Amino acid sequence: MEKQTILVTGGAGYIGSWVVKDLVEKGHTVRVSVRNKSNEEKYKHILDLGNNNLGSVELFEADLTKENSFDTAAAGCDSIIHMASPFILSDEKPQENLVDPALNGTKYVLSAATKSGTVKKIVLTSSVAAVHGDTIDMQEQGLSEFTEEQWNTTSTLDHQPYSFSKVLAEKEAWKISKRQTNWNLVVVNPSFVMGPSLAKISNSGSIDFMNDMLSGKFKTGAPDLNFGFVDVRDVAKAHTLALENNNAEGRHILCDRSMNVMGLAKIIEAEFPKKYKLPTMQSPKWLMTLIGPIFGVTRKFVKRNVGYKISVNASKSKNDLGLTYTPIEKSIKDMVDWMG
């Protein structure tokens, strides 16, 4: 691939920093959008990546809640990786803090791409949360696994609002994409991302979840919640592969393996025996239904998610993008090592 000028929105975050690393190592000129350039501590690692590699990095200030905010950063770019979006698992103002930035932000970034006249390709970071909502969805839809064909139809503003924000944003991106001919859209849909972080400061739900796990939040019993997991470095690679491959099209589920919270705890315990206050047993569903609301987990969430298996089919990412997956044991070990 020829050297390009590429805007990575949210490029200083948990996943974004690995994407920027891949791109500057390949010699690209990378523009990274951040909300507040003066926060040097938060963005130093990104500037260092630019200084220590073949390519270069420039920071641009832009906000998903402000119209026209991305126009300057997108002007003159060849491609955009649109990754910025709040990944907060619970929030008291979901419309304001999740849906508006995800949905309006997508409109503003895609509009900046069209206005630029130079952008030819956009890779959007969606999520498996846009493919399915509650884990019971698989059973209710009579499926043995989810593929790129499915859309999450069960999340709403009041129930799984983060997932709802991702569905709205991805649908809007496809809608806008079909109305124009300047650029092509390719989407990646990662499962729950694990692995070390280059960013020291991030609000990513991935890091919050591992912090909860290691600090003993589940020590009295793990909820039987199942997730697909994928390594953060593989997710970054999927973005660059999607960008480079002219034949890449549509959505791409990214997942190495699915397991529940106990499965994850067992991997950590095997690598770091007796170091953390990890759960040694599963919490019964009736107990979770009873005490869930005290911890901010609704009864509806427990009813529709605890105790159900989840399976997603990631073969398109392997066949079309050529992605190979890091075993999730390594992702977890590296993440826990990084957290110390």
> Among 21, 79, 98, 101, which residue interacts with ligand NDP (rule: CB under 6 A)?
101
> Among 139, 141, 203, 220, which residue interacts with ligand NDP (rule: CB under 6 A)?
203
CB atoms within 10 A of CB 329: 14
Comparing every residue's Cβ against ligand NDP, the nearest one is 13
Residues β-bridged to residue 303: none
Query: How many residues sit close enough to ligand NDP to count as binding (CB under 6 A)?
Result: 28
> Among 55, 86, 223, 307, which residue interacts with ligand NDP (rule: CB under 6 A)?
86
Cα–Cα distance list, 53 to 21, 90, 208, 234, 338 (Å): 8, 37, 30, 20, 22
By beta-carbon proximity to ligand NDP, the closer residue of 85 and 226 is: 85
Would you give the binding string for ligand NDP spanning residues 148-177, x where CB under 6 A is met? ------------------x-----------
Query: Strand 5-9's sheet: what is its strand order?
Result: 56-61, 29-34, 5-9, 79-82, 121-125, 184-190, 253-254
Q: Note whether 125 binds ligand NDP by CB under 6 A.
A: yes
By beta-carbon proximity to ligand NDP, the closer residue of 87 and 325 is: 87
CA-CA distance, 76 to 70, in Å (whole number)? 12
Residue in 33, 26, 27 with CA at minimum distance from that of residue 11? 33
> Among 6, 7, 13, 146, which residue interacts with ligand NDP (rule: CB under 6 A)?
13
Q: Note whether 204 binds ligand NDP by CB under 6 A.
A: yes
Q: Note whether 242 binds ligand NDP by CB under 6 A.
A: no
Q: Note whether 84 binds ligand NDP by CB under 6 A.
A: yes
> Among 192, 218, 301, 325, which residue interacts with ligand NDP (rule: CB under 6 A)?
192
Q: Note whether 193 binds ligand NDP by CB under 6 A.
A: yes
Max CA separation in the chain (angstroms): 58
Give the catalytic positions in this structure: 166
> Among 8, 15, 123, 138, which residue interacts with ligand NDP (rule: CB under 6 A)?
15
Q: Note whether 202 binds ligand NDP by CB under 6 A.
A: yes
> Among 5, 79, 127, 305, which residue interacts with ligand NDP (rule: CB under 6 A)?
127
By beta-carbon proximity to ligand NDP, the closer residue of 84 and 328 is: 84
CB of 325 to ligand NDP, least distance (A): 15
Query: Strand 226-231's sheet: what is its strand order?
Result: 192-194, 226-231, 257-260
Q: Note whether 64 binds ligand NDP by CB under 6 A.
A: yes
Q: Which DSSP string do the residues of 238-288 spell out, in sequence order? A: HHHHHHH-TT--B--EE-SEEEEHHHHHHHHHHHSTTTS----SBPPHHHH
Residue in 41, 55, 54 with CA at minimum distance from that of residue 8? 55
Instruction: Pinpoint the alpha helices (H) of the chain.
Output: 14-25, 40-51, 71-74, 94, 100-116, 136-140, 161-178, 205-214, 232-244, 261-271, 285-291, 299-305, 315-321, 328-339
Interface residues with ligand NDP (CB under 6 A) are 10, 12-16, 34-35, 63-65, 83-87, 101, 125, 127, 166, 190, 192-193, 202-206
